[in-house]
Structure 1
Amino acid sequence: MAAFLSSIYLWLKAAHLIAVIAWMAGMMYLPRLFVYHLQSEKGGEAERMFVQMQRRLLKGIINPAMVAVWVIGILMLIANPAFLSDGWFHVKFALVIAISAVHGFYAASRKKFEAGERPRTEKFWRIMNEAPFIALIVIVIMVIVKPF
């Protein structure tokens, strides 16, 4: 299996990058929707629209993209297990786990919004809007520059 995966490695890498872009786009947009949700009238039409948008974004884009990132990433590791001994990979992997945890936090928060709660503040969600991007910057540096 490793030989086959090695033969299609560049395709796996391309698919992985596409999935990462989709995942990060959604992870940066969902907290923005939470900000707009907080600004909307409680029980109003806009709030119902934001609940629907949040659900569709998470279930239609963010969740499938995250699954694709993990599955393709594992396939890439099977094809090239030497990455497991590289320091840059450890940093990248730790950040992917952290982003996955943030993903879970966003999903739980979306359910609270859907239930009529308004968890956290606008300021909190504006800050959380940046968290995946900061992690992504470090990940890109690790993967491209491989500083250690």
Structure 2
Amino acid sequence: MNQYDLARGLHILAVIAWMAGLLFLPRLFAYDAEQNAKLEPLKSEMQTLLRTWQGRLMKIIINPASILVFIFGAWLVHLDIQMRGAAFLAQPWMITKLVGVVLLYGWHGYLSAERKRIAAGTSVRTSKFWRMTNEIPFVLAIIMVLSVTTEWSFS
């Protein structure tokens, strides 16, 4: 096994874990928002449980996986530069991939901030909002994976 295959495999595994968390957390937010319509004490018990899950998901899966995605992705870029030079970084497919990465990290940051607002009871987002935005990471993943696997260009 060479370094590139190892880096690529570890990167893919980290992305799977990160994506799983980014896809599941908004669902927990939706369930949390639905609890606002319920009466106490059932509401508080369920919200406490949901908020515990949200925090654990962020701390145990999403944050560590995102760090590993960055580390293994940077390793892949380093190995690619060694193999084919840095010119590939200016290719449309790679620019698309990197823009997608920035957007995913932005979404991750937004979810992290929203989790804090939910815990503080200041979130204004509805269950409908979370259900509508839940697939954002998957759409970005489709674009990024197809960009990297096809290495498309304008010429």
Using structure 1 for the length normalisation, give the TM-score.
0.91
Secondary structure of the equivalent of 1:29? helix
Residues 1:70 and 2:44 are matched in the alignment: no
- Pairing 1:1-148 to 2, within 5 Å after superposition: 7-40=2-35, 41=38, 44-81=44-81, 82=86, 83-148=88-153
Corresponding letter in the other structure for 2:28? L
**CA distance in 2: counterparts of 1:140 and 1:127, whole angstroms:** 22
**Cα offset, 1:16, TM superposition:** 0.1
Secondary structure of the equivalent of 1:80? helix
Aligned length: 142
**CA distance in 1: counterparts of 2:44 and 2:55, whole angstroms:** 17
Q: Does the aligned pair in 1 maintain the 2:33–2:127 contact within 8 Å? A: yes
**CA distance in 2: counterparts of 1:139 and 1:127, whole angstroms:** 21
**Cα offset, 1:85, TM superposition:** 3.0
Between Structure 1 and Structure 2, whose CA radius of gyration is higher?
2
Q: Which runs of 5+ in 2 are unaligned?
A: none
Q: Does the aligned pair in 2 maintain the 1:35–1:122 contact within 8 Å? A: yes
Q: Does the aligned pair in 2 maintain the 1:109–1:119 contact within 8 Å? A: no
**Cα offset, 1:119, TM superposition:** 2.8
Using structure 2 for the length normalisation, give the TM-score.
0.87
| Displacement over 6 Å in runs of 4+ | none
Corresponding letter in the other structure for 1:26? G
Corresponding letter in the other structure for 1:54? Q
**CA distance in 2: counterparts of 1:69 and 1:39, whole angstroms:** 32
**CA distance in 1: counterparts of 2:135 and 2:79, whole angstroms:** 32
**CA distance in 2: counterparts of 1:45 and 1:88, whole angstroms:** 47
**CA distance in 2: counterparts of 1:98 and 1:49, whole angstroms:** 29
**Cα offset, 1:146, TM superposition:** 1.5
Mean CA deviation greater in 120-129 or 134-143: 120-129
Q: Which runs of 5+ in 1 are unaligned?
A: 1-6
